[in-house]
Amino acid sequence: MKIVYSILCLSLLFVGCQPKPDNSAIEAYEINSQTVLDNVEDFQNENRDYSQYASGFVMRSTEFGTRDTLWLEDMMKSDKELWANYDFKLAADSIYLLPGVNEDTRMLDGSVRHYTDWQVTRSATDSTEEKSAVIKLYESFDFNAEGEIIFQQVYGDFTGLFTYLNSEGEAEEE
């Protein structure tokens, strides 16, 4: 019986000495996910909160024919131009958040990825009719320890979208 109690005590000691799991990446992901959701809503409302971005923020441009790096000032200018020419509306229930991982360790790192569908509309003018299309996007956000966005990238066929919206013909969307 002493052996059983000894094994039981040693087992409890072993289990009790295990380090507490590190949930900091999951907790950071949860906080940063809310920042991303706010960011998406703010973009849709044409009122992005640029204080969510860190100084030194970098955005990777993935559009054909554009430079590969945008800074916060570039993004602010681009946002103004986009909002002046188009209306952006998030398709209902189309945002799917996923945790990101560190590219070297493949461990959760608090970054956030998402897939969304956006309806983009060019308003009618005296010489053109209103035109609308849906673009499917993948976007990722990396954060610093203070919860500010330090890196952002977005993938979608913007060239095709803007070519369609600015064309005069009535091409069919598929």
Residue 1: DSSP 8-state: -
pLDDT of 1 higher than 80: no
Query: What pLDDT is attached to residue 126?
Result: 84
CATH topology of domain 22-166: Nuclear Transport Factor 2; Chain: A, (3.10.450)
169 vs 168, which has greater pLDDT?
168
- Rounded CA-CA distance 21/54 in Å is 29
| Mean pLDDT across 36-42 | 96
Q: How many CA atoms lie within 13 A of 153 on its CB side?
A: 10
Q: What are phi and psi of 136, to 5 degrees?
A: -95, 130
Confidence (pLDDT) at 6: 64
Q: Where along the chain do its domains lie? A: 22-166
